[in-house]
Amino acid sequence: MSALAALQADFQGYLLRGEPAVAARIEASERVPAQARLAIYAEAYRGRLIDALASNYPALAQLLDEDFRELGERYLAGHDSHYRNIRWYGDELARFLGTEERYASTPLLAELARWEWAMRAAFDAADATALGHEALGAVHPEDWARLRFAWHPSVARLDLNWNAPPLWQALTQQGERPPLSFSSEPTPWLVWRQDFTTYFRSLEPLEATALDAARAGWPFGELCEHLCARLGEESAPLQAATYLRGWIGAGLISALR
């Protein structure tokens, strides 16, 4: 290891874990001891990561208010930043809230974090050209059963027991907070982006299972068979076509295969 790499490793060890080795490399003065100089960097580094968490989870930060900084400190203690872009710091926060004893007793917090991360990830997802309805007209009848779909990179699915989405909307838009509600049967939610706008909506369970199957690679023929088992042969084709037109209309599909 080069001298520079060793110095960087010692400095990182101090910032992340308080390891003292780098202190011997820092010049002190009568006014500012070496430890004070190091502390300035350490506090700034930790503060910037907590700011990043608040930026990535604005609704959670507003909900917890002054307690959010304590959450940030606890998360920092076990989660180093591994990304060149600080935007992605906090990707494990939902799991942390769901397993850390102090927060796991309030499961709404973990679900709200999952929702916020999904919304941010959809906005930052890669671009892709959405498929138009005219593409369906080019499909030969004998190819429909084998037809599969390529999905826009921003598309995400969540199942939530709490009403985290309307709570998030109220917190981020300074609206009236809805009463908290819990359902033992989770509500399926869909998140995606069109151009520079992120959208979301709840799904009926049947559409959610069809969408999940299509995203898992099921061909259109198997989707129709799945719907036939639920709706019957008369209703399934129309429902399958309705779902497909809705998905294309929303910009969820980027290509046919």
What HEC string does 123-182 produce?
A: HHCCCCCCCCCHHHHCCCHHHHHHCCEEECCCCEEEEEEECHHHHHHHHHCCCCCCCCCE
Reported confidence tier of residue 26, pLDDT bands at 50, 70, 90? confident
CB distance 244 to 252 below 8 Å: no
Q: In this predicted structure, what is the pLDDT of residue 163?
A: 97
Q: In this predicted structure, what is the pLDDT of residue 85?
A: 86
pLDDT of residue 28 exceeding 90: no
Q: In this predicted structure, what is the pLDDT of residue 38?
A: 75
Q: In this predicted structure, what is the pLDDT of residue 167?
A: 97
Domains in the chain and their CATH numbers?
Answer: 1-105 (no CATH), 127-257 (3.90.930.50)
Residue 112: left (phi > 0), alpha (psi -120 to 50), or beta? alpha
Give the span between the Cα atoms of 79 and 88, in whole angstroms: 12
Residue labelled with tokens 């300035």: 40
Give the span between the Cα atoms of 243 and 103, in whole angstroms: 38
Tokens of residue 132, six digits: 């138009």
Please write the tens of the pLDDT for every residue from 34-89. Answer: 677 777 777 788 888 999 999 999 999 999 999 999 999 999 988 888 888 888 99
Q: Which has the minimum average pLDDT: 17-26, 128-137, 204-213?
A: 17-26
Specify the higher pLDDT residue, 249 or 23.
249
Q: How far apart are the first and last CA of the chain?
A: 50
Please write the tens of the pLDDT for every residue from 196-239. Answer: 999 999 999 999 999 999 999 999 999 999 999 999 989 998 99
Give the span between the Cα atoms of 187 and 200, in whole angstroms: 13
Please write the tens of the pLDDT for every residue from 85-112. Answer: 888 999 999 999 999 999 999 999 999 9
Reported confidence tier of residue 30, pLDDT bands at 50, 70, 90? low
Q: Where are the alpha helices (DSSP H) in the chain?
A: 3-17, 34-56, 58-64, 67-78, 93-99, 101-104, 107-124, 134-137, 164-172, 205-215, 220-231, 236-249
Long-range contacts of 197-201 (CB under 8 A, 24+ apart): 198/119, 198/122, 198/123, 198/154, 199/250, 200/119, 200/165
Q: In this predicted structure, what is the pLDDT of residue 82?
A: 83
Specify the higher pLDDT residue, 19 or 123.
123
Q: What is the rounded average pLDDT for all residues in the chain?
A: 91
Q: How many residues does the chain have?
A: 257
Residue labelled with tokens 């100089």: 37
CB distance 212 to 189 below 8 Å: no
Reported confidence tier of residue 248, pLDDT bands at 50, 70, 90? very high
For residue 254, which phi and psi values (nearest 5 degrees)?
-110, -15
Please write the tens of the pLDDT for every residue from 163-190. Answer: 999 999 999 998 999 999 999 999 999 9
